[in-house]
């Protein structure tokens, strides 16, 4: 685990402790309402502190698979939320209240959609069966602050980091309690999960294939994937599931991919250099067997792009385009590669094609705005950006793009105003105040824009810390 992400984990441990330590001391009965409340609090903190991947397409994909599986289950009395946890570890887990998390590392490790669905089905089964609530109710010692340490330990994957995290709470007995499911929990989740998987239309062996994949990772890397720690008894599980395959599901088929675009979803996840090279080699081997597979060509092109091989990326994208000229992903991606390499003209051409195919796409509109801006067509760039002013993006504040476009169009009042909004969101108070005050010079008092600027200024000034009272400041008295 990299040091940066390890620090984030410990921050999360502290956040959970501060969040939960003030609540009730113990759970005599962990109710549905308790699950909902705790699950929501954990989710909100994860989201606020950037532990969750915010890619809309990836999240929609995971949610679609999850909902398809849920439709085949006796769903518990809470709404389910499916999220991608921002870790390269091979893991998935369910927290109270129907919150299912799949690590991005697990998504890149599976070989098809059915294997991914098998993991999600297993976690849904844990949630539907309320196994975490069962563990909590059976432990008389367990209080809510300890649960923070336990959940953090599960996220860390066990081992030294988890022990250190739990020790940080200085709570006697916490190290003797874990979030590991008991064998009967695992068997029930496997039995229910494989049923959900089959009823959703996937082939039943997918879940066993996944378990064998992570056993391979364990053998090759000499480190235990975190999924094996939070879900113990993997060999026993494979044996148990193989038994189900040979009896109950022997004659049942099913699909490997139902939602489609699995390779494209994998390609959206940024890998480290070593994994990128391995992924590139695997894709090239697959293309030798199926050279006109558009998804393979697309995935290879994105991998080449991430490796900095722009020419190879464009070659594979253009080859895919000859097979699927109306594919918006390919047109958009070619446009983005041209934009990165400084060819604004070609970027605009392909992004306009993508926009004609899907005019509602926010990502295409954003990319097209950037291409117009790079080509010097600032009015068209502004038109694109203004369509997105109320939208949220992972890696960009649209107010900055709007401010830059207005500036190039010599509309200084609007440029200052949107720069003010940008810096306000970035919590750079002095810069925000400067731009809002400058913007006021361009608008008469009482106009809607002047009113909006005054509101923003009042909000910023309300946050201004008060100067200490000299009479009550002990340091001031000491200096006197």
256-312 pLDDT tens trace: 999 988 999 998 887 777 778 888 998 999 999 999 999 999 999 999 999 999 999
Q: How far is CA 399 from CA 55, 339, 366, in A?
A: 20, 21, 12
φ, ψ of residue 388 to 5 degrees: the values are: -110, 10
Would you say 17 and 169 are in contact if contact means Cβ atoms under 8 Å apart?
yes
Q: Distance of alpha carbon 212 from its chain centroid, rounded?
A: 25
| pLDDT score of 161 | 38
Average confidence (pLDDT) over 212-233: 65
Quote the Cα angle for 461-466-469, to 5°: 160
Least confident of 41-45, 146-150, 177-181, 443-447: 177-181
Contacts for 189 with CB less than 8 Å, ≥ 6 apart: 122, 123, 125, 126, 129, 131, 181
Query: Which of 328, 369, 320 shows the shortest CA–CA distance to 348?
Result: 369
In this structure, how many other beta carbons lie within 10 angstroms of the beta carbon of residue 401? Answer: 24
Instruction: Output the pTM of the full model.
Output: 0.73
Task: Classify the phi-psi angles of 410: left when phi > 0, otherwise alpha if psi is within -120 to 50, otherwise beta.
Answer: left
Average confidence (pLDDT) over 54-67: 93
Distance CA 453, CA 467 (A): 25
Average confidence (pLDDT) over 205-221: 80
Rounded to whole angstroms, the maximal C-alpha distance in the chain is 89
Q: Distance of alpha carbon 423 from its chain centroid, rounded?
A: 25
Query: Which of 94, 107, 129, 128 shows the shortest CA–CA distance to 62?
Result: 107
Distance CA 139, CA 126 (A): 18
What's the whole-number average pLDDT of the chain?
A: 81
Q: Tell me the helices (H) and strands (E) count for the chain, helix number first.
A: 25, 3
When pLDDT is cut at 50, 70 and 90, the band that residue 145 belongs to is low
Q: What is the three-class DSSP state of 82?
A: strand
């Amino acid at each position: 685990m990299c040091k940066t992400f390890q620090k984030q984990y410990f921050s999360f441990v502290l956040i959970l402790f501060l969040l939960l330590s003030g609540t009730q001391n113990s759970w005599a009965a962990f109710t549905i309402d308790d699950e909902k409340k705790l699950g929501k609090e954990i989710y909100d903190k994860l989201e606020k502190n950037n532990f969750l991947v915010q890619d809309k397409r990836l999240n929609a994909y995971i949610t679609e698979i999850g909902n398809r599986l849920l439709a085949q289950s006796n769903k518990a009395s809470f709404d389910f939320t499916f999220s991608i946890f921002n870790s390269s570890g091979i893991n998935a887990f369910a927290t109270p209240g129907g919150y299912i998390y799949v690590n991005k590392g697990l998504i890149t490790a599976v070989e098809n959609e059915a294997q991914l669905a098998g993991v999600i089905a297993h976690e849904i089964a844990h949630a539907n069966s309320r196994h975490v609530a069962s563990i909590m109710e059976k432990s008389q010692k367990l209080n809510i602050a300890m649960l923070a340490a336990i959940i953090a330990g599960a996220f860390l994957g066990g081992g030294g980091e988890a022990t250190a995290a739990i020790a940080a709470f200085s709570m006697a007995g916490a190290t003797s309690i874990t979030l590991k499911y008991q064998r009967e929990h695992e068997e029930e989740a496997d039995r229910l999960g494989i049923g959900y998987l089959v009823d959703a239309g996937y082939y039943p062996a997918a879940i066993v294939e996944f378990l064998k994949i992570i056993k391979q990772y364990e053998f090759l890397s000499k480190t235990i994937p975190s999924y094996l720690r939070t879900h113990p008894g993997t060999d026993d599980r494979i044996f148990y599931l193989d038994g189900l395959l040979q009896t109950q599901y022997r004659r049942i088929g099913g699909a490997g991919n139902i939602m489609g675009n699995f390779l494209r979803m994998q390609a959206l996840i940024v890998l480290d250099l070593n994994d990128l090279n391995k992924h590139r080699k695997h894709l090239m081997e697959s293309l030798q067997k199926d050279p006109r597979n558009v998804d393979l060509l697309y995935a290879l092109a994105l991998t080449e792009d991430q490796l900095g091989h722009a020419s190879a990326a464009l070659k594979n994208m253009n080859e895919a385009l000859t097979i699927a000229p109306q594919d918006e992903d390919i047109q958009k991606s070619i446009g983005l590669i041209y934009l990165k390499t400084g060819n604004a003209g070609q970027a605009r051409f392909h992004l306009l094609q993508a926009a004609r195919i899907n005019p509602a796409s926010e990502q295409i509109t954003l990319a097209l705005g950037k291409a117009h801006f790079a080509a010097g067509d600032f009015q068209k760039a502004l038109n694109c950006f203004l369509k997105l002013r109320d939208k949220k993006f992972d890696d960009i504040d649209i107010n900055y793009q709007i401010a830059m476009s207005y500036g190039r169009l010599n509309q200084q009042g609007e440029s200052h105003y949107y720069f003010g909004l940008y810096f306000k969101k970035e919590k750079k108070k002095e810069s925000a105040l400067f731009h809002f005050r400058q913007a006021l010079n361009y608008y008469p008092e009482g106009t809607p824009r002047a009113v909006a600027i005054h509101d923003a200024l009042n909000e910023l000034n309300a946050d201004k810390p008060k100067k200490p009272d000299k009479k009550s400041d002990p340091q001031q008295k000491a200096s006197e």
